């Protein structure tokens, strides 16, 4: 496919048009199954999908990382999103409150210098993901298509009563249309590092080599809709997460043995 150079041109200093660093790698199917709440099923493949980006949200640069896994909801294939780590606070709470989008604070380094591409993602003082590689040439460009993401919106009851909700869990379906423009293959090394706050190395370990590429695409559509409910009792073990991500948590943080002060016993 011949690419018009003008389609790749951006003005100096412009943040619209940065390519997204896409990294896919295989993991153990049972690891994905353990993260999915009842009502969302594992997909045909057991792939983890990482997207590292800089994009204006709404009108200022947001550096972010998306962590997602292959999943299926009522026969619709897509990605169950474990988390959106982003570097601007303003978009975190409103995204979770309105749509259930699992955004959490994260420090992102992502840049390209000539043919070198590097990225690093850190949270709560722990670097949990690193990538370093080099571009090796153009890759095939797919046709325009729609990608599905699954988020979960819910609100546990005021006062914290067991298995009680002010708004029970529902699936949120995000359908985004893309018109790909250009892709570049990147050969490099992905490192998943130990972190209690972002346990990707433990809960979604690599079982094979990662594949990476830079993707430039135009967004042609985006629809966010509330879909069906999930069983509230079956979902309860999945309700407590690390921050606003979908990583399993305890009182909003990593699972751990807690010391309860005597005044609260």
Average pLDDT (192-218) is 97
The CA distances from residue 230 to 39, 95, 106, 161, 190, in Å, are: 6, 20, 29, 19, 34
- Residue 216, pLDDT above cutoff 80: yes
pLDDT in tens, 152-169: 999 999 998 999 999 999
Q: What is the reported pTM?
A: 0.93
- Residue 9, pLDDT above cutoff 90: no
pLDDT in tens, 65-124: 999 999 999 999 999 999 999 999 999 999 999 999 999 999 999 999 999 999 999 999
- Residue 183, pLDDT above cutoff 70: yes
**What's the confidence (pLDDT) of residue 74?**
96
**What's the confidence (pLDDT) of residue 261?**
81
**What's the confidence (pLDDT) of residue 171?**
98
Superfamily grouping for domain 16-253: Acetoacetate decarboxylase-like (2.40.400.10)
Each domain of the chain, given as residue ranges in start order, spans 16-253
**What's the confidence (pLDDT) of residue 4?**
60
**What's the confidence (pLDDT) of residue 5?**
54
**What's the confidence (pLDDT) of residue 257?**
81
**What's the confidence (pLDDT) of residue 238?**
98
């Amino acid at each position: 496919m011949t690419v018009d150079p003008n389609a790749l041109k951006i003005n100096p200093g412009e943040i619209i048009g940065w390519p997204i660093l896409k990294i896919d790698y295989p993991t153990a199917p049972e690891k994905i199954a353990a993260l999915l709440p009842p009502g969302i099923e594992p997909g045909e493949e057991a792939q983890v999908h990482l997207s590292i980006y800089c994009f204006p949200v709404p009108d200022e640069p947001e550096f972010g990382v998306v962590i997602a896994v292959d999943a299926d909801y009522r026969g619709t294939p897509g990605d169950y999103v474990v988390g959106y780590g982003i570097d601007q606070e303003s978009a975190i709470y409103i995204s979770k409150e309105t749509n259930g989008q699992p955004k959490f604070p994260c420090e992102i380094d992502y840049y390209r210098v000539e043919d070198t591409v590097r990225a690093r993602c850190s949270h709560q003082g722990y670097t949990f993901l690193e990538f370093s590689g080099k571009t090796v040439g153009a890759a095939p460009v797919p046709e325009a298509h729609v990608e599905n993401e699954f988020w979960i919106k819910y609100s546990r009851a005021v006062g914290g009563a067991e298995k009680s909700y002010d708004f029970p869990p529902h699936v949120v379906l995000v359908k985004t249309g893309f018109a790909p423009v250009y892709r570049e293959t990147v050969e490099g090394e992905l490192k998943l590092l130990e972190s209690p706050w972002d346990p990707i190395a433990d809960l979604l370990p690599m079982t094979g080599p990662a594949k990476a590429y830079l993707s430039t695409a135009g967004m042609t559509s985006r629809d966010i809709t509330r879909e069906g409910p999930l069983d509230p009792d079956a979902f309860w073990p999945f309700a407590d997460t690390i921050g606003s991500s979908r990583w399993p948590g305890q009182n909003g943080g990593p699972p751990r043995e807690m010391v309860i002060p005597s005044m609260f016993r």
